[in-house]
Amino acid sequence: MTRPSQHGATADGEGPPPIAGDVSSFPSDAELARTLAAGADRATLCTLTADGYPYGSAISFSLDDDGSTVFLMSEMAEHTVNANGEPKASLLIAADPTPGADPLSAARLTLVGRLAKLADPGVSRDRYLERHAYAAYYADYTDFAFWRLTVERCRYIGGFGHMSWVTADQYRDAGVDPLVAAVDGITAHMNDDHADANLTFVQRLADLPEATAATMVGVDRYGMTFQVVTPERPRLARVAFPDPLTHADQAEHAVIGLLRSLRDT
């Protein structure tokens, strides 16, 4: 779900060529952030020690409907001791980097806000245990409690040169991409079995008639992203769906429909 950088200009003025096709069809950073958070279940919690050091610890989390994150914390853990003293905190959620690539080219997200212990965790507890079934056996110990990080602002970094601050409202209101769990399957299927369709898309819909090969590297409700081979240089290209998808099941139909519309013309 990474949006490729369009802003990779380097200090000496060089940079990658612009992305071909309909770049306005990329999801917003708020949508990318919500989607990245929804696809992850562990992260780094940053709290403040009594002597003023920001302190990072590994933590599992789940998401409430508004995108705030929920944790099951032991009273004895350092981050709980810290949070009892100072509620200001942040959570870094990072996508797994592509093996061999610079890890800093992978998407990540920092949710900045305040931690509060939940007196009555209710549905947040259910969500957490749905996601982390192994935690059921210690969830009710008296020295464990559910906590929530209420998001006040959010830093989204899509990769080199692609980053922005997202407000709490933008983050809360953005929808999780319905294709999030289907991306790997769709891209593998298109690249393994329909390389000809990928090439048709970028030749016809991304203004790259000279392209000789195209690999799908991303797909979301708004469209598809391709890594393209052209005689001159490698390019990234974006092809929009005619209408945003609302469910992953619609992807196959949308792709076939788009292909037919091209072959009929």
| Binding residues vs its own copies (CB under 8 A) | 10-12, 41-42, 44-49, 52-60, 78, 88-92, 94, 97, 101-104, 106, 108, 110, 112, 132, 134-135, 137-138, 141-143, 155, 157
Distance (Å, whole) CA 14 – CA 128: 46
Cβ proximity of 91 and 45 under 8 Å: yes
Distance (Å, whole) CA 170 – CA 173: 5
Of the two residues 138 and 185, which places its CB atom closer to its own copies in the complex? Answer: 138
Angle at 25 between CA 22 and CA 29, to 5 degrees: 130
Helix 183-193 / helix 195-205 crossing angle, nearest 10 deg: 100
Angle at 150 between CA 148 and CA 155, to 5 degrees: 120
CB 6 to its own copies: min, Å: 17
Dihedral sign computed on CA atoms, order 97, 101, 104, 106: negative
CB 230 to its own copies: min, Å: 22
57 to 28, 41, 142, 153, 154: CA distances (angstroms): 29, 14, 22, 20, 19
CB 154 to its own copies: min, Å: 12
CB 131 to its own copies: min, Å: 11
* Helices (H), ranges, 89-194: 122-131, 168-173, 183-193
Of the two residues 88 and 189, which places its CB atom closer to its own copies in the complex? Answer: 88
**For strand 20-21 and strand 235-240, is the pairing parallel, antiparallel, or unpaired?**
parallel
Of the two residues 136 and 256, which places its CB atom closer to its own copies in the complex? Answer: 136
CB 47 to its own copies: min, Å: 6
Of the two residues 164 and 250, which places its CB atom closer to its own copies in the complex? Answer: 164
Of the two residues 132 and 194, which places its CB atom closer to its own copies in the complex? Answer: 132
CB 104 to its own copies: min, Å: 6
Of the two residues 76 and 265, which places its CB atom closer to its own copies in the complex? Answer: 76
What is the residue whose two structure tokens read 């030749």? 203
The closest alpha carbon to 198, from 181, 220, 171, 217, belongs to 217
3-state secondary structure of 233: coil
CB 180 to its own copies: min, Å: 19
Six token digits for residue 175: 């929808």
Of the two residues 15 and 244, which places its CB atom closer to its own copies in the complex? Answer: 15
Cα 188 to chain centroid distance, Å, stands at 19
Of the two residues 28 and 55, which places its CB atom closer to its own copies in the complex? Answer: 55
CB 222 to its own copies: min, Å: 26
